[in-house]
Structure 1
Amino acid sequence: MSTDTALPNKWMVTLTIMISTLVAALDTSIVNVALPNMRGSLGASVTEITWVSTAYMLSNVVVMPAVGFLSDLFGKVRFFTFSVIIFGVGSFLCGLAWNMESMIFFRVIQGVGGGALIPMSQAILRETFPPEEQGKAMGIFGMGVVLGPGIGPTLGGYITDNYSWNWIFYINMPFIILNLILISFFLKESSDRERHTGKIDYIGLILMTIGLSTLQIMLEKGQENSWFESDFIVRLAVTSAVSLILFIIWELKTDKPIVELRVLKDLSFTSATALGGIFGMGLFGSLFLLPMLFESLLGYSVMESGLALMPRSLAMAFAMPLAGRIYNFLGPKKMIFIATVLATISFYPLTVMNLNTNAWDILVPQLIQGVAFAFIFVSLSTAALMTVEKRYMFGASGLFNLIRTVCGSVGIAVFATMLENSTTINRAYMVEHIVTNNPFYTQSSLVSPATTSPILSTWFAGLSGALMQNAGSTPADLPDKTFAILSNYIDRHAAIMAYNTTFFWILFLFIVATLFSFLIRDTRPDKLKNKEDSKVIESVVEL
């Protein structure tokens, strides 16, 4: 069957699935900036409002690995259409939510639809484009995946400030309607695709749901519950570990598994997926840290923070199509090696920041990161699925995206804990060295400006004079004011040092990824020497 006949309207198919990809990716980040407004409207506490994000990610990770089974059960177009509808209904209901309970329930519905859209979109693109254009296909797909989270905070901040938080959900509706119209015209069911028959793997489904949901809740709530000092977190960890171990054993034994883990026998897929997990930790971890740095330490507003982060997202989006073209020339191994080296270099300026650092100082590092992440994403996505058999394509795509998403949650949890612990240690260290010769000194606090070392006493004297002359302070309130300024000074320096340390470990993560890049096989169609691999590649086109 010729490529031209087998792949009609491939650009309209691309437009159709890219709309789904963009809105699903957008909703992973657009809601975060609106949480303070939602908290007041829904009457939620600080702890409770975080469930708005947790509920969406929770249902995402449960659905992702099952997309292969569900697309075989219902048909890929029917399941894709159903996912778009569920996502749209969930979005509309979220905008109507009247309390926290309804919001959490509606976000779960939205997440069930959104969790299927990204892996389904990736698999459909893989089936639509011929082998020699797989890099181009993943470049296009990557634009939607990275552009959504990139513009989410800025767009969410603008909508919340100028309208209301409800519109961050309603804004999805025109795109959902357009998407459903395009699906009806341009997505067609494959006549030769093997459909699932027989019993549904309910045991695997239950074990997977319990294991992944408890894991996600543990990662989301671990920091605020002091991790394994909390019985709640310990119970979640044990439940998740036992459930996932039993799930793996069961899936490898059953004839019709809900997740086809045997695809992990494909070394190309497994090595690329593992690297994708490392990439997810670095990407999501840095996406979590940089807004906090700008807003909590450097004094940026939500909108300003979103704009400051736009260069990296835009660089990623523009570099994706270029990366797709370069893939056919360099291959995945060289591309990933070059990209991880670039990523390592780009994170170095973030390890030597100070309180005078601003968005302009890290503009070039962000641009380099954008190019590096685009190259990594395209090459990994292409290499991971290039040698996967057609019957496993949707399941493999779900598994690939699941690993990246879960590892992203792990990265956020690890780096958030590292940042907090490092800040505490840095503060204690600075206090210890600032208040030498202080008979009233305790390890964790500054007691009084009057009991500090001679050098610091001189500093207090100069500050007191400035406060009395310029701020209208009286002698009675000088001790409290000068002490508060010193304490804030120490807190800010302790925090920036902690950010430097945390970004260093992200840099180290990409050094490790550089070493792992040598395990990636060159899966370009013209480089596959194994005839069986070539047959598998050709079968992707014969749909």
Structure 2
Amino acid sequence: MNSASEHPPGSLAALQARHGPRYRWLLLMAVMVGTMASIMSSTIVNVAIPEMSRYFVLGQERAQWVSSGFMIATTVSMLTTPWLLARYGYRRTYVVAMLVLLAGGVLGGVAGSYPLVLAARVAEGLAAGVVQPIPAIIMLRAFEPHEQGRASGMFGMGVVLAPALGPSIGGVLVDLFGWRSTFFMVVPFCLVSIALAYKLVPVSGPGGVAADRDGARLDWRGLAIATVGTICLLNGLVELHGSSAAQAVPLLAVAAVSFGAFLWWERRSVATGREPLMHLGLFAHRRYAMGSIVAFIYGTALFGSTYLLPVYMQLGLNLAPSHVGTILLPAGLVLAATIGIVGRITHRFPTRVLVAGGLGMLAASFALMPTIDAARPLVLLVVWSILGRIGLGFILPSLNIGAMRGLPSNLISFGASAINFMRMLGGAAGISLCAVFLEWRLAAHGDSLANAQTGPGRIAAFNESFLLLAFLCAVAMVAAWRLHDAPEEPAARQ
């Protein structure tokens, strides 16, 4: 059958017949727009945190929940993506997620209280978590192994424009219209992504099969355990800096118990024939297990820095929000170019070389941040930011695809979900870790972000926080070097 009319409307076969060999690239472009919206929603609001803190009269610990709340929701909802795709198909899952993201952006923009802002961020996080594993599933199923690097590079170039342009545009919006305007930035992206979804995203589930509305039930117990554990972990990290460790210890203990309970329940689900929320058999693949460790630590450093850098530039270097975006823009553009180049060569070099090399550059960029002070030109800040983004350009096209290459086709969607879960869990912990560590070092140097003036103690506290991130990247390099290339198993075509 060669014509789209011979296939059900919206089916994978009909779309392939209509668009021909280029369809897989068009599909990747369609989901790229939605992914850009979800990533922009995670980064653009960071520029507005200082002004939002002043508007709602928030302390640093409460303000960081604007980022952490998003990260928690994203982390947990990622585990539901394989089930949602199998139950409702690509199009329905994707469109509903975009509608939730759209609603979160509008709610955050009109919110008159801090709890409503947090609710909006949670809604945005839930949508972002469902959407972000989908591109990796498509790349592994729709593209041949020698095309996957190029597809990842092209996708990455588009996606990184969101965090590259987001802080720049967000900074200008905050200066001109206030913090509310940053929430509305995702609205046009969501509208475009929904329109593209109805034209290009199939109604089928992974592998082109029909969505199974009566299939396996969602592992609600596993999801509840994972949610409780994640919330307790992050709250426990925040309470570590409280007046008493008595509140932190029970929370961290519950997080540890939840982790053990989650592993037990997922093993029991497999043993009793139920579909688990996370296939623990993924981690029996050494390459995937090492990649997951790298993803967790790398997420901690990356997302911790996305929180720390805007705060450092505004409250440490006394720069206006619009200047923050301007300084970060060149690094973002270099990142987009680097991803495009590296994506074309990923099949020529071992994954561990690309990932470890990128982590090394990222670590160096953090370690060099203490060379910046009031007497040195800000050009150093631009240069070190560019160095770190070049490192990211080596990591992003290589890590997920490289770690999952060789997985059995029936585990690809679970693999994409789980490795993104590990990265986002690390990111959620990273934001809390940076906020808590910064507050600790500020107190140790006799300073506070509530003080109007920047002093040497504040700069020293920020520098020590950057050195912590450099150390985490160095640790991740050890695991990255164990990402030995494995023979590839052919995956089912999308």
TM bin, normalised by shorter chain, reads 0.7 to 0.9
Which of 239, 244, 263 is the matching residue for 1:222?
A: 239
Partner in structure 1 of residue 28 of structure 2: 14
Q: Give the C-alpha shift of residue 502 in structure 1.
A: 3.3
CA distance in 1, matches of 2:418, 2:199: 29
8 Å contact 1:223–1:413 — kept in the other structure? no
Partner of 2:481, secondary structure, is helix
Which of 398, 401, 404 is the matching residue for 1:382?
A: 401
Q: Give the C-alpha shift of residue 178 in structure 1.
A: 1.7
The answer to whether structure 1 residue 246 and structure 2 residue 261 are counterparts is yes
Structure whose CA Rg is larger: 1
Which of 237, 252, 256 is the matching residue for 2:252?
A: 237
Partner of 1:225, secondary structure, is coil
CA distance in 1, matches of 2:465, 2:53: 30
Partner in structure 1 of residue 355 of structure 2: 336
The answer to whether structure 1 residue 64 and structure 2 residue 78 are counterparts is yes
Letter in 2 for 1:203: R
Letter in 2 for 1:61: T
8 Å contact 2:160–2:336 — kept in the other structure? yes
Over aligned residues, Cα RMSD in angstroms? Answer: 3.0
Partner in structure 2 of residue 432 of structure 1: none
CA distance in 2, matches of 1:328, 1:93: 44
8 Å contact 2:175–2:321 — kept in the other structure? no
Partner in structure 2 of residue 438 of structure 1: none
CA distance in 2, matches of 1:316, 1:120: 22
Please give the residue correspondences for 1:42-191 in structure 2 after superposition, counting only pairs within 5 Å. Answer: 45-46=58-59, 50-188=64-202, 189=204, 190-191=207-208
The answer to whether structure 1 residue 289 and structure 2 residue 308 are counterparts is yes
Task: From the superposition, tell whether residues 498 and 48 of structure 1 become closer, same or farther in structure 2 (CA, over 3 Å).
Answer: closer
Unaligned ranges ≥5, structure 2 = 1-15
Q: Give the C-alpha shift of residue 31 in structure 1.
A: 1.8
Partner in structure 1 of residue 42 of structure 2: 28
After superposing the two structures, state which structure 1 stretch, 391-400 or 230-239, moved more: 230-239
Q: Give the C-alpha shift of residue 23 in structure 1.
A: 0.7
After superposing the two structures, state which structure 1 stretch, 80-89 or 167-176, moved more: 167-176
Letter in 2 for 1:101: P
Unaligned ranges ≥5, structure 1 = 429-486
Partner in structure 1 of residue 492 of structure 2: 540
CA distance in 2, matches of 1:400, 1:331: 19
Q: Deviations over 1:121-149 (max 9, x none)?
A: 33223323221111122223333554333
Partner in structure 1 of residue 209 of structure 2: 192
Task: From the superposition, tell whether residues 272 and 80 of structure 1 become closer, same or farther in structure 2 (CA, over 3 Å).
Answer: same
TM-score, structure 2 as length reference: 0.85
CA distance in 1, matches of 2:425, 2:291: 15
Task: From the superposition, tell whether residues 204 and 30 of structure 1 become closer, same or farther in structure 2 (CA, over 3 Å).
Answer: same
Partner of 2:480, secondary structure, is helix
Partner in structure 2 of residue 311 of structure 1: 330
Partner in structure 2 of residue 301 of structure 1: 320
TM-score, structure 1 as length reference: 0.78
CA distance in 2, matches of 1:362, 1:36: 20
Identical residues among aligned pairs (%): 25
CA distance in 1, matches of 2:465, 2:439: 10
Which of 387, 391, 414 is the matching residue for 1:372?
A: 391
The answer to whether structure 1 residue 363 and structure 2 residue 382 are counterparts is yes
The answer to whether structure 1 residue 392 and structure 2 residue 411 are counterparts is yes
Partner in structure 1 of residue 227 of structure 2: 209
8 Å contact 2:356–2:477 — kept in the other structure? yes
CA distance in 2, matches of 1:110, 1:505: 29
CA distance in 1, matches of 2:76, 2:23: 32
Q: Give the C-alpha shift of residue 89 in structure 1.
A: 2.4
8 Å contact 1:281–1:410 — kept in the other structure? yes
CA distance in 1, matches of 2:472, 2:107: 40
Q: Deviations over 1:66-99 (max 9, x none)?
A: 2112222222332122211222222223333333
